[in-house]
Amino acid sequence: GYEQERRKYGLIYSGLYNSTSGVNNLNQFIQAEKITKEINPTYGSIQRLHTRDSDLVTLCEDKVLKILANKDAVFNADGNTQLTATASVLGQTIPFGGEYGISTNPESFASESYRAYFTDKVRGAVMRLSKDGLTPISDHGMKDWFRDNLKLSNNLIGSYDDKKDEYNITLADINKTVSFKEDVKGWVSFKSF
């Protein structure tokens, strides 16, 4: 019999869609083809997916990963990567440095151009994922405040204000909103919404 299965540690993808050539295989899941991508269960369940530079950023409970799309990485002897083409849709999984994840709060995620922001409630940190990797932005003068208050709220809502260039994180259960601004590399205000 058929039944629903929740895959916390893996991805399933369908066939291709190309509007210019009229190919629509989005409803095809052919088991004979490799249509799954598994991640290490020690990273926790997948909470959020985000595309960046044609790769798939995968935010798990305890780790942030980059899954290469339509390519694999071959490592040189010095540890640097060299990309090669491959037939697989989702290639190699590369973890970002640092022991941070998004916990179980995917609603805290917000992105702006090449930067992404999110919270790690378990570790009491607010994070930024940029070209240089993961950075705990809560360390900019608010480390203790976030460590104490993130655990008090189950609903952490993130948004990006592109008019003021600020990441807003709302701790709904304690009715607090704070804003981070890249220009000053710090938390600039508490807000009443």
22, pLDDT greater than 90: no
Give the residue-averaged pLDDT of 8-15: 86
SS3 of the chain: helix, strand, coil, percent, to 5 = 10, 50, 40
pLDDT-derived band of residue 83, with 50, 70 and 90 as boundaries?
Answer: low
Q: What are phi and psi of 142, to 5 degrees?
A: -130, 20
Locus of tokens 């990309």: 83
24-42 pLDDT, tens digit per residue, is 888 887 777 788 889 999 9
The more confidently predicted of residues 46 and 90 is 46
Q: Work out the number of other CB atoms within 10 angstroms of the CB of residue 83.
A: 12
pTM value is 0.84
